[in-house]
Amino acid sequence: MFKKSFWGGSKEVEVIKKIKKHISILCSTCQTFKSALETEDEELIFMVFDLEREADIVRREIIAHIYEGAFLPFLRPNLCQFVEIVDEAIDEVEDAAQRCILGLNLEGIKEECIKIASLNLEACEMLSLSFEAFCQGEDLREKNLAIRIYEKRIDEIKIDLIKRLIKTKQIGNFWEGKILSDFLEALVNVSDVIEDASDHLQIINISVR
């Protein structure tokens, strides 16, 4: 039943290839951003922007192919929504990168930020594995749980980090504080959105059974 409803023909195969590429761009974006934090290399930050633009192109191609007739009608909105959620995760990484070129000061918290970026990368790599499993008609519950665990660990780091910032971080002015707050929010939101994508993929997986 799975292969009959999901793998209809050449159009479907082409869309699946592009969705895999889209998720791969998410992984590359997270990896590039993590490296940028580690090395403080501004060129890597601009690579994040390039990857986000590439992801937008792929997203538009996927949506167009789906509404040109790929997949059964009941699957199309859910697949489009999944792609949009993945794209939102890439946008969150880009938002964090934007703050890095606005005078972001990570003194005293850089290690924790790199740890969050690393967990984001692991979460999106698990999402990629989950989509591969989905295409094979496999159960996704263990991979979905793994992503939830990554998200929970990030939340724990965020709570500890905010507590420490309140007590110790010296903020020079309003804009420095806002840039830091926006950066942390975007950085943490990446895993939240990846979890949403994983949950949505699980819904699609159940719907094609």
Q: What is the pTM of this model?
A: 0.93
The more confidently predicted of residues 208 and 93 is 93
Which pair of tokens denotes residue 192? 């939240």
Nearest CA-CA partner of 151 in 176, 180, 129, 119: 119
Q: What is the largest CA-CA distance in the chain?
A: 61
Tens-place pLDDT, residues 105-145: 888 899 999 999 999 999 999 999 999 999 998 999 999 99
Nearest CA-CA partner of 190 in 53, 48, 87: 87
Nearest CA-CA partner of 98 in 19, 160, 29: 29
**pLDDT tier, 154 (very low <50, low <70, confident <90, very high otherwise):** very high
Tens-place pLDDT, residues 55-111: 999 999 999 999 888 888 888 999 999 999 999 999 999 999 999 987 788 888 999
Give the span between the Cα atoms of 167 and 47, in whole angstroms.
35
Tens-place pLDDT, residues 2-60: 555 555 678 899 999 999 999 999 999 999 999 999 999 999 999 999 999 999 999 99
Q: Which domains does the chain have, with CATH numbers?
A: 7-207 (1.20.58.220)
Determine contact, residues 51/74, Cβ cutoff 8 Å.
no
**pLDDT tier, 1 (very low <50, low <70, confident <90, very high otherwise):** very low
**20 Cβ contact partners less than 8 Å away, ≥ 6 residues apart:** 128, 131, 132
Give the span between the Cα atoms of 11 and 184, in whole angstroms.
40
